[in-house]
């Protein structure tokens, strides 16, 4: 039995770095929770605080409903596995796995039984007598895992345990760790920066950015219905296209989304029309994943985008075409900054009216990339990021870079964000 609750956990290190900023998170008993985020977002700090190796500056960690303040790491029923698995080189595999039991004064017979059970579960029962120096990376990590599970912990904390392995070993162990956790019924908090690990292994994923929890949900929920633009862009390969669109609501009839010079039309009965209509005459960000697009003969679909193929990426089983749809795009890191305000134009439309209206007339495309705004900013600099959508094609298609391509757009699969990067159509999350 081990459920974990973090309540308003903040960690500010000496020197002023805020590694965690008011993080609240529940991990249920037996759940496989993956903490996902880029380097430096606070994942390891969170894990160390749960383990009791670091104290939070503010907030509380509860284990099974009990506050852990002052509870020593060894009394938390936790086992940790790190990326740099330090095995004892002078011991064989079996002794490495059984070492924590020896330290705990467990009788040799019992030790042997538990060591052998752990080794069998990890598929390394046949190498118990081997020295650890000659093991492969995957085998070494299995031994490290064995040493952790042999203690029969209630809670497993894993910090990038696969990052030192090659791609093949990672894929293999990914499956095994998920299966093993289920078999043992333990609660796992697993840290990674790898979205594939998160989406394939997790019951739920918690996404951190600069110490702030962005979203928590099942892999399907955070992928299909991300709470923020950051989550939408962090998950998914190829990356989501974040295009600027102007909303034009025709009350009771339909909503037009002007993306550059092109227009998508959503019927009034569309699931998200009412929410979008609140942004009438404003610019929003439309997230377009490859899944929303299907190549078509021009003029045959009810909603289409057309563009020129800028690049082709051949992946063997498919080819990705990156299509310049002649519209403005935004980078997730720009969201919430003055850059985003300028690209979106919602705030500066009035102060810099003349330039803005010319930009608007051009459907968001700058015809003068060097025009300066009143405060000396160069708007063209911000507009040069042009929207490129990724389109999945059959392997090695006949199309060439520079050629036109039209795609049908499944408007139900589009994601809509405001200028602060929050999804404006969050329903049921």
- Residue 361 CB partners (closer than 8 Å, separation 6+): none
Residue range at the interface with ligand ATP (CB under 6 A); choices 9-17, 135-143, 175-183, 300-308? 9-17
Quick one: which of 40, 123, 238, 295 contacts ligand ATP (CB under 6 A)? Answer: 40
Contacts with ligand ATP: how many residues (CB under 6 A)? 13
Contact between 254 and ligand ATP by CB under 6 A: the answer reads: no
**Both tokens assigned to 92:** 């064989």
Identify the sign of the CA torsion 179, 180, 181, 182. Answer: positive
Residue range at the interface with ligand ATP (CB under 6 A); choices 34-42, 221-229, 261-269, 403-411? 34-42
Q: How far is the CB of 428 from ligand ATP (least distance, A)?
A: 30
Contact between 16 and ligand ATP by CB under 6 A: the answer reads: no
* 238 prior amide bond cis, ω within 30: yes
Q: How far is the CB of 51 from ligand ATP (least distance, A)?
A: 13
Q: How far is the CB of 55 from ligand ATP (least distance, A)?
A: 12
Quick one: which of 9, 25, 34, 45 contacts ligand ATP (CB under 6 A)? Answer: 45
Query: How far apart (Å, rounded) are the C-alpha atoms in residues 97 and 89?
Result: 12
215 to 37, 39, 62, 193, 362: CA distances (angstroms): 11, 17, 20, 15, 36
Residue range at the interface with ligand ATP (CB under 6 A); choices 13-21, 56-64, 262-270, 288-296? 13-21
Residue range at the interface with ligand ATP (CB under 6 A); choices 21-29, 33-41, 67-75, 171-179? 33-41
| Structural contact between residues 405 and 309, judged by C-beta atoms closer than 8 angstroms | yes
Give the CA count within 13 Å in the CB-facing half-sphere of 249.
Answer: 18
Q: Which is nearer to ligand ATP, 43 or 140 (CB)?
A: 43
Quick one: which of 25, 33, 41, 290 contacts ligand ATP (CB under 6 A)? Answer: 41
| Structural contact between residues 164 and 84, judged by C-beta atoms closer than 8 angstroms | yes
Contact between 80 and ligand ATP by CB under 6 A: the answer reads: no
Quick one: which of 6, 27, 37, 93 contacts ligand ATP (CB under 6 A)? Answer: 37
The closest alpha carbon to 72, from 46, 53, 44, 48, belongs to 53
Contact string (CB under 6 A) for ligand ATP, positions 185-224, x = contact:
--------x-------------------------------
The closest alpha carbon to 335, from 422, 409, 403, belongs to 422
Quick one: which of 17, 60, 302, 378 contacts ligand ATP (CB under 6 A)? Answer: 17
Q: Max CA-CA distance within the chain?
A: 84
Query: How far apart (Å, rounded) are the C-alpha atoms in residues 362 and 116?
Result: 70
Contact between 70 and ligand ATP by CB under 6 A: the answer reads: no
Quick one: which of 13, 67, 102, 367 contacts ligand ATP (CB under 6 A)? Answer: 13
Q: Which is nearer to ligand ATP, 138 or 211 (CB)?
A: 211
Residue range at the interface with ligand ATP (CB under 6 A); choices 2-10, 32-40, 304-312, 366-374? 32-40
Tokens 């089983």, residue located? 317
Q: Which is nearer to ligand ATP, 42 or 161 (CB)?
A: 42
Residue range at the interface with ligand ATP (CB under 6 A); choices 43-51, 249-257, 367-375, 412-420? 43-51
Query: How far apart (Å, rounded) are the C-alpha atoms in residues 387 and 402?
Result: 15
Q: Give the neighbor-by-neighbor strand order of the sheet with 66-67.
A: 18-27, 4-12, 58-63, 66-67
Contact between 386 and ligand ATP by CB under 6 A: the answer reads: no
Contact between 43 and ligand ATP by CB under 6 A: the answer reads: yes
| Structural contact between residues 224 and 267, judged by C-beta atoms closer than 8 angstroms | no
Q: Which is nearer to ligand ATP, 188 or 244 (CB)?
A: 188
Collapse the DSSP code of 102 into the 3-class scheme (helix H, G, I; strand E, B; otherwise coil) and give the result.
helix
Q: Which is nearer to ligand ATP, 21 or 304 (CB)?
A: 21
**Quick one: how far is CA 131 from the chain centroid?**
38
Give the CA count within 13 Å in the CB-facing half-sphere of 125.
Answer: 9
Residue range at the interface with ligand ATP (CB under 6 A); choices 12-20, 111-119, 233-241, 251-259? 12-20
DSSP string, 328-360: EB--GGGTTSHHHHHHH-TTTTTTTHHHHHHHH
DSSP structural state of residue 306: E
**Both tokens assigned to 368:** 């003068």
Binding site for ligand ATP (CB under 6 A): 13, 15, 17, 19, 37, 39-45, 193
């Amino acid at each position: 039995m081990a459920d974990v609750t973090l309540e308003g956990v903040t960690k500010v290190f000496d020197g002023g770095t805020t590694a965690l900023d008011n993080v609240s998170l529940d991990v249920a008993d037996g759940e496989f929770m993956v903490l996902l985020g880029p380097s430096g977002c606070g994942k390891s700090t969170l894990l160390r605080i749960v383990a009791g190796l670091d104290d939070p500056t503010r907030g509380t960690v509860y284990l099974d409903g009990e506050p852990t303040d002052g509870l020593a790491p060894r009394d938390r029923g936790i086992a940790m596995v790190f990326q740099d698995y330090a095995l004892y080189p002078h011991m064989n595999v079996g002794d490495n796995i059984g070492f924590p039991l020896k330290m705990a004064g467990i009788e040799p017979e019992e030790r042997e039984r538990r060591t052998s059970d752990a080794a069998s579960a990890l598929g390394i029962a046949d190498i118990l007598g081997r020295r650890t120096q000659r093991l492969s990376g995957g085998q070494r990590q299995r031994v490290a895992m064995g040493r952790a599970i042999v203690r029969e912990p209630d809670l497993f904390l894993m910090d990038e345990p696969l990052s030192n392995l090659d791609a093949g070993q990672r894929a293999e162990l990914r499956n095994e760790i998920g299966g093993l956790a289920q078999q043992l019924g333990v609660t796992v908090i697993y840290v990674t920066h790898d979205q594939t690990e998160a989406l394939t292994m997790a019951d739920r994923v918690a996404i951190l950015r600069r110490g702030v929890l962005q979203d928590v949900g099942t892999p399907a929920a955070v992928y299909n219905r991300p709470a923020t633009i950051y989550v939408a862009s962090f998950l998914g390969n190829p990356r989501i296209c974040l295009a600027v669109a102007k909303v034009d609501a025709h009350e009771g009839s339909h909503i037009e989304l002007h993306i550059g010079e092109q227009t998508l039309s959503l019927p009034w009965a569309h699931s998200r029309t009412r929410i979008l209509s609140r942004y009438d005459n404003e610019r929003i960000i439309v997230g377009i994943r490859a899944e929303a697009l299907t190549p078509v003969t021009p003029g045959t679909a009810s909603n289409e985008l057309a563009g020129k193929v800028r690049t082709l990426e051949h992946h063997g089983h498919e080819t990705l075409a990156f299509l310049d749809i002649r519209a403005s795009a935004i980078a997730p890191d720009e969201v919430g900054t003055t850059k985003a305000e300028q690209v979106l134009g919602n705030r500066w439309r009035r102060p810099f009216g003349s330039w803005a209206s010319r930009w608007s007339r051009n459907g968001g495309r700058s015809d003068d990339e060097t025009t300066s705004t009143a405060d000396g900013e160069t708007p063209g600099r911000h507009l040069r990021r042009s929207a490129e959508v990724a389109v999945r094609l059959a392997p090695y298609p006949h199309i060439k870079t520079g050629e036109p391509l039209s795609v049908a757009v499944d408007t139900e699969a589009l994601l809509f964000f405001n200028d602060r990067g929050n999804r404006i159509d969050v329903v049921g999350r």
